[in-house]
Structure 1
Amino acid sequence: MGAVGSVDIELDLIEWLQAKAGPSIVVRDEVDNNLLAELPTIQVQRIPGGGDDGFRVDWALVDVDVYAATRGEAIDIAKTVHGWLITELRGSQTDRAVYGRITSSPPPAIRPYENTGLRRVGAVYQIHSHPVS
């Protein structure tokens, strides 16, 4: 939870990324036991950290994981998502939020996952936003 006037960053990013990714990729906040049947999947989660100004500006830390059947597919999708967030979302506006500075640290990289039937690539983004009104 950010500032009183902050945006539900997970919901906004899930909707924005789903529109960019199209129907062949699932974008969600949580993964479940059906993950193998829903590949590729992009998982978006706000994680502890970041902050706000107590009024309207929020700087969220958002973890974005890509799950896919192969390492190459997971890397390709993660790079595409990285480009969307860094170049297209930055400086744009959705129905809910105005987005400013967006950085990633670390950038997309392979992350271990216990299920050997899929591959996982993830990154952490710091995303500055404020509500539209």
Structure 2
Amino acid sequence: MSAPAPVDVELVLIGWLQVRLGPAVVVRDELDNNLVAELPTVQVETVGGDDDGFRLDRPLVDINVYASSRAAAVELAGRVRSLLLHELRGSTTATAVFGRVSTLTLPAPRPYENTALRRVGATYEVFCHPVS
């Protein structure tokens, strides 16, 4: 029996967060040159992780929030953290089952070269496996 395909955690989290944060927030994986015009933006990127070689994935997910002010970026990063820790944990989507979610680095301001916006980022470990 072959192992199921791993969960594309970026794709799943982008859709999951977009529904919960609403249309006023852009949720994406890659940034483009229009970032200042698309604030607030939440960027979701897998930055490593581990698996058990069979079914369980433990990706590390870096989430950066971009907003026009530090206060707005901090507030949105806190909302994202709360959603991940309290709603994602134990939930199921069409393609993934989520177990434990833990914060590896708390949301904190991160430098960004464009002074017209502010960036706050955090890193999470997400335990998940495919639905089937």
TM-score (norm 1): 0.95
Q: In structure 1, what is the equivalent of residue 87 of structure 2?
A: 88
CA distance in structure 1 between the partners assigned to 2:95 and 2:12 by the alignment: 7
Q: Which blocks of at least 5 consecutive residues in structure 2 are unaligned? A: none
Q: In structure 2, what is the equivalent of residue 22 of structure 1?
A: 22
Q: In structure 1, what is the equivalent of residue 9 of structure 2?
A: 9
Residue 105 of structure 1 deviates from its aligned partner by 1.4
SS of residue matched to 2:112: coil
**Deviant stretches of 4+, over 4 Å:** none
TM-score (norm 2): 0.96
Q: In structure 2, what is the equivalent of residue 132 of structure 1?
A: 131
Q: In structure 2, what is the equivalent of residue 60 of structure 1?
A: 59
Q: In structure 2, what is the equivalent of residue 111 of structure 1?
A: 110
CA distance in structure 2 between the partners assigned to 1:32 and 1:89 by the alignment: 27
In angstroms, what is the RMSD of aligned CA positions? 0.9
CA distance in structure 1 between the partners assigned to 2:121 and 2:22 by the alignment: 20
SS of residue matched to 2:14: helix
1:5–1:130 CA contact under 8 A, matched in 2: no
CA distance in structure 1 between the partners assigned to 2:25 and 2:129 by the alignment: 27
Q: How does 1:63-74 map to 2 (within 5 A)?
A: 63-74=62-73
2:45–2:61 CA contact under 8 A, matched in 1: yes
Residue 70 of structure 1 deviates from its aligned partner by 0.4
Deviations 1:52-96 (A, max 9, x none): 011110000000000000000000000000000001000111111
CA distance in structure 1 between the partners assigned to 2:70 and 2:98 by the alignment: 31
